[in-house]
A and B are shown apart, each in its own frame.
Chain A
Amino acid sequence: MLLLTPILLVPLSVALLCLLVPSRRVMAALGVLAFATTLGLGIALLHEVLARGVVREWSEFLSADALSAWMVLLISVVSLATSLYAGRYFERDMAAGVITMGRVREFFVLTPLFGTGMFLVVLANNLGVMWAAVEGTALSSVLLVALYNRRNSLEAAWKYVILGSLGLALALLGTVFVYAAACKSHPDSLPSFNWSYLMSVARQLDPLQLKLAFVFVFVGYGTKAGFAPMHTWLPDAHSEAPSPTSAMLSGVSLKIALYALLRFHILTTACLDGGPDAGFSGHLLLGFGLFSMLLAPSFILVQRNLKRMLAYSSLEHMGLICTGIALNSPLTIFGALLHMGYHALTKPVLFFAAGNIHQTFHSLEFRVIGPGVGKVLPVTVVLMGLAALSAVGLPPFGLFFSELTIISGGLAAHQITVSVVILVALLASFCGILQQLTRILLGARKPGDHPTDARRSDGVPAMTLLLGSLLLFSVWLPAPLLELMHQAAAIIGGKP
């Protein structure tokens, strides 16, 4: 039976349906339904992949290996939580009159499209199609960022789209180079542009050309994945988008771009392996990963806006994941993949909580929110506190384990400076997040400053779902999932 096709079609059809459906509730329900289905399909895919290795459909046009399956799961979970949260969220927005029904519809149409795009990225075998899909996600998310049509959101959207599409143009050039290299190795016929095929001929490709190609792809997809110094659009977009979108952008979208980059990384490594500049791509990843990790904390330390702070924390985590992959030992790659997962479960909670705070206090500026949020939104604050603890990598949450795995892997690879840098960066961002959150969450309200329209139970289902699964998977991972991740790590490590 077909697996990959429905994963693409379900959200797509839901998106089209939402164009017609009259009521907001139904649209929300449809969204939940769609991603619940994809989640189920994802799990099915997991087993399929474990059974068959690689799942192909439409004559290899779509193919899924362990890595893709893992990403499919991440996308589904985050999107599911997002659509769970979005219903109540927009209900309040409409009640407050900050948004029209038309815009809400736009959201419920675009979000599944966004999802479809991401699914296509991870399922497409053809690198060109993958590029097109990434561009598609970018375009759909741009409109989502601009949803509130405020000055700030438009500014953010503009920066996002310009930097994004520019980066993607570069990525396209890189992709073309890769294809050119393929053509060069087989001048007679029109070679297939499938990743699987390219991998098979990787050794015959011209290393110099591939290096150049990787540079373009790296800058291109790196911009989308938010590596410093190409990250500049990230805090703007993540902070100005409606909170559900922020959650998706931060939770998966970045990782999708990273995924696209990884495909090329694997290819390049396979090609350059043993050559004069083997591990070229790895070095780039390492350098930029560490740079992002070091840059993020200083912005967190003097941050004034809640969601921007969260965005920078995402930058930090992307840097760490990148570093873990670049260290290129099975353990660190595994740790990085695990980190992706835990981060995907953590960050949305923080953004949802930020959304509640935003809707209650009508601002994200720390000084406006002021101390003592806990007195107004106890439940939100407790959940947010837990998520924050996870985000700064404290036990018993999984990020603690994945971070330590990466660090110790770094030491094992005799990269002691790398490990030290990672520790320092994590420590710094910890300080920042801790003191900023303590400042607003704890304490007593200023007299006479107690918002009346505080709704205590908003978004609790979504948040508890995520946090619960986070806690569960921190202490216990089902064997198939573990196996899947080990295989994915093997793929990245170039030992499929």
Chain B
Amino acid sequence: MHPPTTLEISSQVIPLMATLMLVVQLLLIAQRMLLTNIRLFAIQSLLLSGIAAVVAFNYNASHVYVVAVLTFIGKVVFLPWLLNRLVHRIQIHQDVEPLLNAPSSMLICAALTLLGYSVTRPFTSLEKLGNNTLAIALALLLTGFFLMINRRKALTQVLALLTVENGVMLAAVALTTYGMPLVVELGIFFDVMVAVMVLGILVYRIRENFDSMDTGKLDQLKG
């Protein structure tokens, strides 16, 4: 059995970190510099892997450690590096221009967070870690979704997609007693990696063909 103290601590820590993830998300939304965005995403992923680690430590569930490690390697190290590289490769430094300005997007995100809470209210989760973590996960997902809508640059959309992914993973880690079965975790992980690579390839090609990454330019297919 686990010493109660750690459990108490972790039951404090996990929601905290989750909330931090949400904060980072909000920063992402407010933030305009592309490179900073990537760093923020890295931080968020770091928090995620941290949560995974804590969960793993709590239940000393070995395969959740694997998740933590994979997340760290993949989302904290590899992807940011890849994206940075891409950014340098296709020299774009000018900041991203959102459709909505920061304050109004903030308001919307607040509303979405509320929605997340209200939706997850009905079922109190399995044990002490879960409940509002789930709400946060949902909030992450919705805000990430909004972020995706709100950004024009192809790369930032990729980032937004990844934050959505983070939200889902948070749910996966926090909600289920011991995370998902390993095979699933692996599958998901590699899918995400491949997805990012495919996206990278497309971004690269788009850059080549359109001399820009502004997806606003991709509106030729109508009707």
Contact = CB atoms under 8 A, between A and B. Distances in A.
Given A142-B202, A158-B154, A162-B148, A179 B180 contact: yes
Given A151-B210, A166-B161, A304 B220 contact: no
Contacts of A146: 202, 205
B155 to A, nearest CB: 12
B194 interface: yes
A423 to B, nearest CB: 25
Interface residues of A, number: 53
A154 B176 contact: no
Interface stretch (B16-24, B27-35, B104-112, B119-127): B119-127
The binding surface of chain A is classed by DSSP as helix
A155 B205 contact: no
Contacts of A114: none
Contact of B184 (A129, A166, A299): A129
Contacts of A157: 202
A193 B184 contact: yes
Contacts, number: 138
A39 interface: no
Interface string A192-207: 1100000000000010
Given A129-B183, A177-B175, A302 B123 contact: no
A274 interface: no
B221 A236 contact: yes
Interface in A291-318: 299, 302-305, 308
A151 B148 contact: no
Contact of A126 (B119, B168, B184, B202): B184
A314 B192 CA distance: 29
Which of the four size classes fits the interface of chain B?
35 or more
A166 B178 contact: no
The binding surface of chain B is classed by DSSP as helix
B208 to A, nearest CB: 9
A367 interface: no
Contact of A161 (B123, B167, B177, B198): B198
A179 B223 CA distance: 40
Nearest to A150: B209
Contacts of A177: 171, 175
Most buried by B among A151, A169, A239: A169
A180 B122 contact: no
Contacts of A384: none
A187 B59 CA distance: 13
16 contacts: A132-B190, A139-B194, A151-B210, A151-B220, A152-B221, A154-B209, A156-B221, A161-B195, A170-B141, A172-B188, A183-B175, A184-B125, A206-B123, A208-B123, A302-B223, A305-B223
Given A131-B184, A180-B176, A187-B126, 12 more contacts: A126-B184, A128-B183, A131-B188, A143-B198, A155-B218, A161-B199, A173-B137, A177-B171, A180-B125, A180-B126, A180-B175, A240-B221
